[in-house]
Structure formats: structure tokens, C-alpha cells
């Protein structure tokens, strides 16, 4: 009964405000564990004050772990801390792309809602993010100065300044840090920009004492006008592309990249029901396709929301995980007296060819909420069939809806759905008469090889695009506004000519 | 042919065509259709305020073209949370032309003033410097469009001297001093927003010095200031601020180095 009233409540809500609220059930999420070779970073920025928390998914032998990060200033001991790994998981769970579902009811029967079926994506094995060995330090002259030296938690931390890249490279190599051959070229610009090097290795004894078997994230705090993430050293380390998830907090609004375009992931798309079983892999495919479509050099926005605990508005819609609480914010480095906290999640897949420069960011006052959300629709339960006229109408609308879902799937992933034909005609057998135009097949179940080639002819996507525009309210409004805009330009030019003559 | 001659009679026609093209490219290729109401407000606002000025006899009829350019400029570069902010930007941009005047010259480029002042005084407006991406075709298109505008307005030199100064300084810093790959330097320049700004805003003949060589010197200094703000003060939208700071000097430069006054419509009688 409770679910029923919720269902009706949702219907009412939809009728009032379709744009701002959503009432499907949350069924799955595509969290960061799907992506191999990835790193996670939490950024907090307030004026020139910056907090960076670096999460490592290092899965190898901890004694091989090493990290070299360029930082703009020499950090004091109290500006470095170790935080709980769970914070990353909570932020990821809360902000990851989500799948929600709707339920149709059988117009020939009383409405009833089936039990929900939760499907979580399984996590893939992670590659090793770094493979560096650490040896004892030696005291040779390399033009390298140890500005500070701390042991924080299970880490031994050095802050180095260098005068010359070769010296730094040799120093690191001679001290057992395995630096890639190309590193020296990458180190030089940081040295000349007067940046310091934050060098980390694991103190095995401390780690044994603390009893942790996983490396915990390191947090650094400093005040500097530069708001950037150095990627170049990481790229010198790896041949292919790497994924990075950035969770950013600001007081005013979204954080965006200033030297690469920040692109929103397509959202609020209705996709085939079959995706429910494997939403994780679906999102992975979608990401891959969008990344290629955008030219491989953009930063994707996956989530943007006001998360101020005291703010009364809806925090997520639907929620994938519990919203972060005060404790999470404090741990991330957000000052307790911020009256407003805005959360941005960005996902960037970078490689050397497409990301020549480090990522630079700015805080904007953009408070527009955004989330990557996908919707599946459960067809009505069959019961005694769809014999009544409303039932027949429903089946036709279901067929048409499913066709749109398949189109959407193709547009999102660049692939045809594996079982497109079966999916489309699944309920056709309940129709007393199949419409003439359906007899010509619009979709085929594609064999594996076809799928790899990319499925349908890309030219098909043009009528699809037109179709989508006409069925998408926001886009339809866009067309109207656009026509108004054009007519105004024409009017002004014409008018100004008239005045002149 | 007749149409072409008509277009050449006023460089603002090319400017309108150019800026509209970018707005359309943004709407259709970069998913800007979500901002369409805002574009409408900025263009409508600018034109309406200018009409008001014309009604009160502050400006002549063909200045509507300038207002349209201002509206397009605001749409291309300014991002806001609320349509009211766009209208405010348009009001600031158009209004300042009639308030801050010296010997008939207005101090600031209207769109530049509207954007800069609104971003400074309100917490609801911002500039997204990376919104144009690094597509080569965008830069190419901007260059072609810009060429027509500047050729007709005879202000190609401002863009050239500004661009070369900045390119040289960046090359010296990135490739020569810091030792980055040339791609980092190219990444700086292959940026649509930067070129849009260079070709359509800093070259405004009304707000650049009239005397030829002084103007070129001014463009070089503007390049220096922009470079300093961008790479030493780490301000990603440096060009907006350097122009905002530098243009008020122009009327005084014009006073010191007088030259023939710019007029949008050439004073050559038709034959």
C-alpha cells in the first residue's frame, strides 16, 4: 500500500513540476571502481586557499609505492595530513552517474508495482598506478635541497626544491625512486616555475604499527593563486590514457576547467530496460563514446549540486548514496564556517597527446544543479493480457517508446543495442493486430562483429536527432528561442538600415 | 555585388555576421541551446537600451548595429545565473557609453565594460574561458571572420600587434624559459575564446587610439599587461581585465596624439 501511495504521490508531483523533480526508483550507479587506471582527487578552494586530497588506488606491494607531486609552496608539517579512504568511497557513491526506473501499470488491470530488482555493477581489477621502488637516501650533491622532512602517518614525506632537472632526476633515481625516462623533460618546467616537489614513500614500520593494509589518502593545504592539478608527471609514467575523478568543493558554485572545455554528460535519457542488468558497463561504454565524440580533450561534468547540510532543498534526485555530512566536509578540508557548500564532480580521461598542459581550474558562481541520470521503464505486468482497447493503445505506445529508447541507446553509446529487435517486439504478441508499418524491421539483432564495427549507419542518426529534438521539451523550446533570436537580428539590421536611409 | 558593397560600407555588418556565426556554432555544436533565453535577453536588452538612447536623441539610428554587436558579444562571453543579470550587463554596457565620455569618445568597449563590471560587482556572473575548446576549425573560422571585419574597419594592426606580442611572450616563457613542449604554447593560442576576444573586442575602432603607430604601441602594451596578469597573477580571463584597465587611457592618448576621427560609416560620398 505504501508503495502505491508513493506511486500516486509521484504522479501528482510530476504533474506539477516535471522539470525539477523525478520520482523513479534508484536502481544502480556507475561508480569510479569501473574505471581502471584511475585516480581520485578532492579539491577545496576558497579564495587562494586550496586543499588537495590525493586518493591512491595502489594495489601493488606498498614498499614499491612512491609519489612525486609538484606543489607551489613548501608545506609545513601541519599542512599535511592523512585522511580516511572511506571519504572517497562516500563521495563517489553519492555523486556517481545513476540509473532510475519507472513502472507502467496495465490499463486493463488494477495498478500494482513489482518488486524492485537491485543490480550493482561489479568492480574490475585495478591496474597498478605506480611501480616505484624506494631505497635509502644518499647524501650526494645534485642541486637538490631538502626543504622539509616529515613522517606523517605511514608516509615519509620530503619537500624538495631543485635547481636543475637532471640533478633532481638523478637524485630521485639514486635514492631508489623509479622515475620514467621521459620524466626529466617534464620535471624541468616545474623547477623553472619555482615549484617544490612533494615526494612520498611508505614508512613500512609505521604502517605495521598502525595496522593498515591499504594506503590512505594524503591531504595537503596551501595558499596560492594557482589552482591547478599537475598531470604531466603521471603521464610520463604511463603510455595509454588514465582516468581521474575530481571532487571539488567551493563556497559559490561549480568548479570548472579553464584550459579545457568542461562538458556535461548527456543526462535524463530513457534507455532500454535491459541496461538495468549491466548499468556499470553501459556507463563505461557511454563514457568511451562521448569521450571520443568530444575529441578526447574535454573534462566531463558528472555531478554539480548544492550540498550544504543546512540547506533545505533536495540533495539528489534520486539519491545513489547518503549525502555527505559535516564530518566528510571537514575531513575534505572544507572550513566549518562555510555557509554554503557546492559540490562538483568531474571526470577526465587524459593522455599525453590530448592534454599537453596541466589542468587549471576556476571557481564560478554557477549554481545550476546537474547530475548524470538515466532512466529505464518497466512495462506493465501482463496479468490476463492487454485485451481492452486502452491496453492495445498502451502496447502501441510501449513499442514506440522502446524505439526511442533504442535510438537513445545508439546516440549515447555509438552502438546498436545487442538485442534490439527482440526488445522492440517483446510485447507485440499481445497486440490483436500489428500495424502495417511495423512489419518492415527497423532494428535487427546484431551479431558480435557488427557491434564492434559500430552498428548502424551514422547517417541514420540525422532523422533520429530531429526526432529527439521534437520529443524533448527543453530542446523544442530551444528551437523556438532560436527562431526568435534570428528574427530579432534580422529586424534590427533591417530597422537600422531604414533609419539610416 | 551590390550587397557586397553595402556590407563593405560598414564593418559592423561583418562583425554582426561573424559574431552571429559563432553564436550559432555555439548553439548547435557546443550545446549552448540551454542558454538561449539568456542570449535573447542580452541582445534584446542591448537593442532596447540603445533604442531608448536614440529616442532621447543621444545617438543616431545606425548605432543600433553597435548595440546588436554588444548584445552578441555579451552572449558569446558572459555567463550568468539569472536573465536579470544579462539585462543588467546590457544596461551597464549601453549606459556607460553616454555617461563616461570625453570629447565625444566613450571610454570602454561596451561589451567589455558590461562583462567586466558585472563579474566584479555581482556574485552571479562569470566568464568561461575554455568554452570554445581547442578546435582548429573554430580558430580558423574566427580568423576568417575577423579578417573581414578588421580589413573593412582598417584595424587589423591592433589584432596583429596584440597577438604577436602575446604569442612571442608566451613562446619565450613556455618553450624557451620553462622548456615545455611546443604543444603547451600552441594549446594557449588554439583557444577560441582568446581569438574571439582579440579579433572582435580589442579591435573596436571606437576604443583604440586613432594615431596609427600609437595604436600599435598601445596594442603591444595591452599584450604585455595581459601576459603579466595571465601568467604571473594566474588570472585565466586576463584579456578582459587588461582591456578594461587600458581603454580609459584611449581618449587621453587621442588628445595627445590627435588623428582623424573614426567613423563607422565612411564619409565618402556615393558616386
Question: Nearest-CA distance from A366 to chain B in Å?
Answer: 6
User: Considering CB atoms only, which of B33, B130, B178 is closest to A261?
Assistant: B130
Determine contact: B34 vs chain A, CB below 8 A: yes
CB contact under 8 A, B40 and A485: yes
Contact state of B178 with A189 under an 8 Å Cβ cutoff: yes
A452 burial type by CB count under 10 A (0-12 exposed, 13-18 middle, 19+ buried): exposed
CB contact under 8 A, B68 and A500: no
Q: B131 CB near a chain A CB, below 8 Å?
A: yes
Q: Mean pLDDT across the stretch B128-143?
A: 72
pLDDT at A236: 64
The predicted-structure confidence for A71-98, as pLDDT tens digits, reads as follows: 999 999 999 999 888 888 889 988 999 9
A256: chain B residues, CB-CB within 8 Å: 128, 130
The ipTM value here is 0.87
Buried b (16+ CB within 10 A) or exposed e, B38-50: bbbbbbbbbbbbb
The DSSP result for A357-398, as a single string, is S-EEEEE------EE-EEEEEEPPP-TT-S-SHHHHHHHHHH
Distance from CA of A241 to the nearest CA of B (A): 18
Instruction: Give the pLDDT confidence score for residue A364 in this predicted structure.
Output: 94
The answer to whether the CB atoms of A478 and B186 lie below 8 A apart is no
Chain B partners within 8 Å of A342 (Cβ)? none
Residue-wise pLDDT tens digits, B164-198: 999 999 999 888 888 888 888 888 877 778 878 87
Q: Does A477 touch chain B (CB under 8 A)?
A: yes
* Least confident range of A431-435, B8-12, B98-102: B8-12
**So what's the pLDDT on residue A424?**
86
State whether residue A260 sits within 8 Å of chain B by CB. Answer: yes
Nearest to B43 among A225, A365, A488 (CB): A488
**pLDDT the model gives residue B14:** 79
- Min Cα distance A359 → chain B (Å) is 11
Selecting from A360, A485, A496 the residue whose C-beta is nearest the C-beta of B236 gives A360
Residue of B nearest to A265 (CA): B31
The answer, for A236 touching chain B at a CB cutoff of 8 Å, is no
Q: Which residues contact A384 (CB under 8 A, 6 or more apart)?
A: A108, A109
Instruction: Report the pLDDT value the prediction gives residue A5, as an integer from 0 to 100.
Output: 36
Which of A263, A279, A290, A277 has its CA nearest to residue A414?
A290
Three-state secondary structure of A265-306: CCCCEECCHHHHHHHHHHHHHHHHHHHHHCCCCCEEEEEEEE
Cβ–Cβ gap A188/B44 under 8 Å: no
Rounded Cα gap, residues B205 and B216, in angstroms: 12
- For chain B, what is the mean pLDDT? 83
What pLDDT does B160 receive?
A: 86
Q: Does B171 touch chain A (CB under 8 A)?
A: no
Q: Is the pLDDT at B247 greater than 60, yes or no?
A: yes
Residues of B in contact with A192 (CB under 8 A): 177-179
**Residue of chain A minimizing CA distance to B41:** A485
Q: Which of residues 212-271 of B touch A (CB under 8 A)?
A: 233-234, 236-237, 265
Of A257, A477, A493, the CB nearest to B16: A493
Contacting residues of A for B188, CB less than 8 Å apart:
357
Coil, helix or strand at residue A435: coil
Instruction: State the Cα–Cα distance between residues A65 and A87, nearest whole angstrom.
Output: 21
Which residue of B27, B39, B64 is in closest CB contact with A492?
Answer: B64
Would you call B31 and A499 a contact, using CB atoms and an 8 Å cutoff?
no
Chain A closest CA to B227's CA: distance in Å? 15
Q: Which of A225, A226, A256 sits opposite B128 (nearest CB)?
A: A256
Task: Mark yes or no for CB contact B62/A500 under 8 Å.
Answer: yes
Contact list, B128 vs chain A (CB under 8 Å):
256, 258, 262, 364
pLDDT of residue A422: 85
B36 and A475: CB-CB below 8 Å? no
Cβ <8 Å between A295 and B133? yes
pLDDT at position A485: 74
First to last CA, chain B: 15
Chain B residues inside the 8 Å CB shell of A370: none
Query: How far A102 CA lies from chain B's nearest CA (Å)?
Result: 26
pLDDT tens track for B217-245: 999 999 999 999 998 888 988 989 999 99
- Band (pLDDT 50/70/90 cuts) for residue B41 is very high
- Kindly report the nearest CA distance between residue B117 and chain A, in angstroms: 15
Interface check B20 vs A, CB under 8 A: yes
pLDDT value of residue B138: 67
For residue A121, give Cα distances in angstroms to A33, A317, A413, B169: 9, 20, 18, 50
Which residues of chain A fall short of a pLDDT of 50? 1-24, 111-139, 448-460
Count residue pairs from A and B with Cβ separation < 8 A.
Answer: 131
Which phi and psi (to 5°) does residue A50 adopt? -130, 135
Q: What is the pLDDT of residue A499?
A: 58
Provide CB contacts within 8 A for A265, sequence distance 6+.
A97, A286, A287, A290, A300, A301, A302, A347, A372
Provide mean pLDDT across the span B130-140: 70
Is residue A309 helix, strand or coil?
A: coil
Amino acid at each position: 500500500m505504501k508503495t502505491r501511495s508513493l506511486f500516486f504521490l509521484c504522479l501528482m508531483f510530476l504533474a506539477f513540476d516535471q522539470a525539477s523533480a523525478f520520482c523513479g526508483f534508484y536502481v544502480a550507479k556507475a561508480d569510479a571502481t569501473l574505471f581502471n587506471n584511475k585516480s581520485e582527487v578532492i579539491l577545496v578552494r576558497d579564495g587562494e586557499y586550496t586543499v588537495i586530497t590525493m586518493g591512491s588506488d595502489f594495489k601493488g606491494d606498498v614498499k614499491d609505492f612512491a609519489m612525486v607531486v609538484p606543489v607551489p609552496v613548501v608545506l609545513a608539517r601541519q599542512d599535511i595530513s592523512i585522511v580516511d579512504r572511506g571519504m572517497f568511497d562516500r563521495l563517489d557513491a553519492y555523486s556517481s552517474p545513476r540509473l532510475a526506473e519507472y513502472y507502467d501499470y496495465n490499463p486493463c488491470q488494477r495498478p500494482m508495482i513489482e518488486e524492485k530488482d537491485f543490480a550493482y555493477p561489479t568492480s574490475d581489477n585495478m591496474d597498478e598506478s605506480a611501480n616505484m621502488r624506494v631505497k635509502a637516501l644518499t647524501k650526494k650533491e645534485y642541486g637538490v635541497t631538502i626543504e622539509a622532512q616529515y613522517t606523517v602517518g605511514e608516509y615519509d614525506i620530503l619537500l624538495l626544491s631543485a635547481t636543475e632537472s637532471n640533478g633532481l632526476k638523478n637524485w630521485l633515481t639514486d635514492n631508489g625512486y623509479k622515475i620514467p625516462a621521459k620524466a626529466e623533460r617534464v620535471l624541468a618546467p616545474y623547477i623553472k616555475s619555482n615549484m617544490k616537489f612533494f615526494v612520498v614513500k611508505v614508512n613500512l614500520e609505521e604502517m605495521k604499527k598502525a595496522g593498515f593494509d591499504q594506503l590512505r589518502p594524503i591531504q595537503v593545504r596551501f595558499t596560492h593563486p594557482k589552482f591547478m592539478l599537475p598531470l604531466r608527471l603521471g603521464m610520463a609514467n604511463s603510455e595509454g590514457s588514465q582516468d581521474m575523478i575530481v571532487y571539488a568543493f567551493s563556497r559559490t558554485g561549480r568548479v570548472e576547467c579553464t584550459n579545457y572545455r568542461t562538458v556535461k554528460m548527456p543526462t535524463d535519457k530513457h534507455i532500454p530496460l535491459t541496461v538495468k542488468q549491466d548499468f556499470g558497463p553501459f556507463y563505461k561504454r557511454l563514457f568511451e563514446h562521448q569521450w571520443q565524440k568530444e575529441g578526447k580533450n574535454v573534462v566531463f561534468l558528472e555531478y554539480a549540486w548544492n550540498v550544504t547540510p543546512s540547506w533545505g532543498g533536495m540533495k539528489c534526485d534520486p539519491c545513489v548514496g547518503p549525502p555527505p555530512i559535516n564530518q566528510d566536509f571537514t575531513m575534505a578540508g572544507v572550513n566549518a564556517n562555510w555557509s554554503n557548500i557546492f559540490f562538483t564532480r568531474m571526470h577526465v580521461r587524459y593522455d599525453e597527446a590530448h592534454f599537453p598542459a596541466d589542468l587549471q581550474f576556476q571557481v564560478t558562481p554557477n549554481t545550476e544543479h546537474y547530475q548524470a541520470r538515466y532512466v529505464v521503464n518497466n512495462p506493465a505486468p501482463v496479468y490476463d493480457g492487454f485485451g481492452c482497447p486502452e491496453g492495445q493503445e498502451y502496447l502501441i505506445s510501449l513499442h514506440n517508446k522502446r524505439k526511442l529508447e533504442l535510438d537513445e541507446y545508439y546516440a549515447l553509446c555509438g552502438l546498436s543495442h545487442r538485442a534490439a529487435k527482440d526488445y522492440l517486439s517483446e510485447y507485440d504478441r499481445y497486440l490483436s493486430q500489428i500495424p502495417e508499418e511495423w512489419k518492415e524491421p527497423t532494428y535487427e539483432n546484431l551479431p558480435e562483429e557488427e557491434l564492434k564495427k559500430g552498428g548502424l549507419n551514422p547517417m541514420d542518426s540525422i532523422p533520429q536527432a530531429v526526432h529527439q529534438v521534437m520529443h524533448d521539451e527543453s530542446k523544442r523550446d530551444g528551437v523556438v528561442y532560436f527562431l526568435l533570436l534570428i528574427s530579432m537580428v534580422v529586424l534590427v539590421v533591417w530597422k537600422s538600415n531604414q533609419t539610416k536611409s | 555585388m551590390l550587397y557586397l558593397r553595402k556590407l563593405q560600407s560598414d564593418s559592423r555588418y561583418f562583425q554582426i555576421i561573424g559574431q552571429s556565426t559563432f553564436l550559432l556554432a555555439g548553439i548547435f555544436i557546443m550545446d549552448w541551446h540551454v542558454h538561449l533565453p539568456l542570449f535573447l535577453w542580452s541582445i534584446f536588452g542591448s537593442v532596447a537600451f540603445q533604442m531608448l538612447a536614440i529616442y532621447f536623441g543621444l545617438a543616431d539610428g545606425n548605432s543600433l548595429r553597435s548595440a546588436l554587436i554588444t548584445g552578441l558579444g555579451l552572449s558569446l562571453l558572459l555567463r550568468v545565473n539569472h536573465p536579470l543579470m544579462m539585462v543588467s550587463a546590457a544596461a551597464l554596457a549601453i549606459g556607460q557609453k553616454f555617461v563616461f565620455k570625453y570629447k565625444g569618445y566613450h571610454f570602454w568597449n561596451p561589451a567589455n565594460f558590461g562583462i567586466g563590471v558585472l563579474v566584479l560587482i555581482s556574485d552571479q556572473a562569470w566568464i568561461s574561458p575554455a568554452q570554445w575548446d581547442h578546435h582548429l576549425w573554430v580558430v580558423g573560422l574566427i580568423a576568417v571572420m575577423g579578417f573581414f571585419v578588421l580589413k573593412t574597419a582598417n584595424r587589423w594592426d591592433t589584432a596583429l600587434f596584440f597577438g604577436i606580442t602575446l604569442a612571442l611572450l608566451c613562446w619565450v616563457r613556455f618553450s624557451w624559459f620553462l622548456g615545455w613542449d611546443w604543444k603547451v604554447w600552441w594549446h594557449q593560442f588554439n583557444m577560441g575564446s582568446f581569438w574571439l576576444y582579440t579579433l572582435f573586442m580589442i579591435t573596436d575602432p571606437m576604443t583604440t587610439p586613432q594615431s596609427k603607430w600609437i595604436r600599435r604601441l598601445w596594442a603591444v602594451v595591452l599584450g604585455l599587461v595581459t601576459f603579466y596578469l595571465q601568467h604571473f597573477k594566474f588570472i585565466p580571463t586576463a584579456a578582459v581585465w587588461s582591456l578594461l584597465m587600458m581603454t580609459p587611457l584611449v581618449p587621453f592618448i587621442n588628445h595627445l596624439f590627435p588623428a582623424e576621427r573614426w567613423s563607422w560609416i565612411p564619409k565618402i560620398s556615393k558616386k
